[in-house]
Amino acid sequence: MRENSSWSLNWGTWAGVRVRAHASLFGVFVLMVYFSEVARHGWIGAPPYVAWYGPMSWLILLASVIVHELGHVLVAVRTGGNVNLVVLGPLGGMHAADMPREPHREVAVAMAGPVANFLVLALLTPAMLLGGVALGDILLHPIVPGGMFEGVVWVVALKMAFWINWVLLLVNLIPAPPLDAGRALRAVLWPVMGHRGASRTLSRCGMLTALALCLIGVLLYDPQSTRSLPAWLPLLALSIYLYFASRQDGQRGEQEDEDDLFGYDFSQGYTSLERAHTVRHPGPLRRWLQQRRELNDRRLRQIEEEEERRFDGILIRIKEAGIDSLPAEDRALLQRVSARYRNRMQS
pLDDT in tens, 69-83: 999 999 988 888 888
**Residue 17: φ, ψ to 5°:** -115, 125
79 phi, psi to nearest 5 deg: -95, 15
Q: Among 19-33, 81-95, 281-295, whose mean pLDDT is lowest?
A: 281-295
Among 65, 67, 74, residue whose Cα is nearest residue 109: 74
pLDDT of amino acid 103: 84
pLDDT of residue 162: 95
Q: What is the pLDDT of residue 4?
A: 42
Q: Tell me, what's the pLDDT at 280?
A: 46
Give, for 110, the enclosing helix (H) or strand (E): helix 103-130
- Contact of 258 with 166, CB cutoff 8 Å: no
Kindly tell me if the per-residue pLDDT of 170 is higher than 90: yes
Residue 46 in this model has a pLDDT that exceeds 70: no
For the chain, the structural domain boundaries read: 1-173, 194-273, 283-347
Q: How far apart are CA 85 and CA 140, in angstroms?
A: 35
Please give the pLDDT value at position 259. 44
Number of H helices, E strands in the chain: 10, 4
* pLDDT > 70 in the chain, percent: 82
**According to the per-residue pLDDT averaged within each range, which of 36-40, 89-93, 341-345 is highest?**
89-93
Which pLDDT belongs to residue 5?
54
What pLDDT does 240 receive?
Answer: 92
- The pTM score is 0.70
